[in-house]
Amino acid sequence: MLERYELEAFLTLAEELHFGRTAERLGVSTGRVSQTVKKLERRVGTPLFVRTSRSVRLTPVGQRLYEDLLPAYRQLREAVTRATEAGRGLHGTLRTGFGPAWGGDLLTAAADTLLARYPGCEVTVREVPLDGGFGLLADGTLDVQFVAFPVREPELTAGPVVVTAERMMLLPANHPLATRPSLSLDDLAGLPMILPEGANPRYWIDHHYPRRTPSGAAVGRGPTAATWQEVLAHVSAGRGVAPGAALGASYHPRPGIAYVPVHDAPPVEYGLAWRTASDSALLRAFVEAVGP
């Protein structure tokens, strides 16, 4: 069984490939690192590193050992961290927000899970209107937000995809295309698409509200909307069409709106984004509670 200092010395040297930097990271002398690695090599029975006056590199056996040990070491550290945090308890307030209605359900459930585990903390959940974009994250009003990807803001960190939903097009129920079993992106040519107001990034708008079809035809531009309810009102009144997700059909059913799949469009991906500067044990615990 490896001692902790042997494990840390080996993994750190495998990453740094430099005895001086390894010693600096571990807070020990270079000689101590060298002695520890030699002891480990004697135990294994074969060299783990090739050392020259100019370089350090892993042997094939050392590379395999590194790849085998690293996941287990990370799991061990995370387990100790979770246990330590549970023992100390998490405190403070985390401000969360959501745009799509199903995001509100996810955040509320995660908040309940977190509060049951850490009663000393507080989680607030608020809705972010369609025109809000990432603004409430950027100005510090929110710490974390459930969003439709992509997120490429330099001050924000994007987490993993939590929800994937089939992309739909919302059409007035009496529109000629509304009775089709599915649409293609080329069917959007000339249709007036309802656009979100506000400061949503250009790359985000272009991803969800394309300006042209794959064949190059222009997609029309309809009225703008600040909230999802305004989008539904515009579509129902026949003023335009809007992109959406399959989940919306169950959360926002309207007699005047048809939800039609777009068979050649990529799915809509949702997840969490947070202010990088807001990173904390409480935020990480919340992200873990949301999933995936």
Same domain, residue pair 68 and 106: no
Same domain, residue pair 176 and 228: yes
Same domain, residue pair 171 and 262: yes
Same domain, residue pair 11 and 72: yes
Q: pLDDT at position 92, please?
A: 85
| CATH at 179 | 3.40.190.10
Give me the mean pLDDT over the 15-40 stretch: 92
For residue 113, what are its two tokens? 């899970």
Cis peptide before 292 (omega within 30 of 0): yes
Same domain, residue pair 171 and 151: no
Which residue from 288, 280, 71 is spatially nearest to 162, judged by alpha carbons?
288
Same domain, residue pair 8 and 58: yes
For residue 23, what are its two tokens? 């010693």
Rounded to 5 degrees, φ, ψ at 228 are: -65, -35
DSSP 180: S
Same domain, residue pair 34 and 156: no
- pTM of the full predicted structure? 0.69
Q: Which of 63, 87, 111 is the last residue of a domain?
A: 87
Residue 13: pLDDT band with limits 50, 70, 90? very high
User: pLDDT (tens digit, 9 = 90+) per residue, 130-183?
Assistant: 999 999 999 999 999 999 999 999 999 999 999 999 999 999 999 999 999 999
Same domain, residue pair 201 and 63: no
Q: At what angle do helices 101-117 and 281-290 cross, to 10 degrees?
A: 120
Give me the mean pLDDT over the 26-34 stretch: 92
CA separation for the pair 210, 205 (Å, rounded)? 7
Q: Which of 29, 56, 87 is the last residue of a domain?
A: 87
Same domain, residue pair 100 and 154: yes
Q: Which of 71, 87, 103 is the last residue of a domain?
A: 87
- Give the Å distances, CA to CA, from 187 to 95, 173, 259, 260: 41, 16, 14, 12
Same domain, residue pair 51 and 98: no
Query: Across all residues in the chain, what is the average pLDDT?
Result: 92
Same domain, residue pair 60 and 38: yes
Question: Which letter, b or e, does each residue of 35-51 get, where b requires 16 or more Cβ atoms within 10 Å of its Cβ?
Answer: ebbeebbeeeeeebbee
| CATH at 52 | 1.10.10.10
**What is the extent of the structural domain holding 218?**
167-266
Residue 87: pLDDT band with limits 50, 70, 90? low
CA separation for the pair 89, 83 (Å, rounded)? 10
What is the number of structural domains in the chain? 3
Q: Tell me the longest C-alpha to C-alpha distance in the chain.
A: 79
Q: pLDDT at position 117, please?
A: 85
Cβ-contact 118, 93 below 8 angstroms: no
Cβ-contact 149, 269 below 8 angstroms: yes
Q: What residue type is 123 in one-letter code? A: V
Same domain, residue pair 279 and 237: no
Q: Where are the beta strands (DSSP E) in 135-256?
A: 144-148, 156-165, 167-172, 192-196, 220-225, 242-245
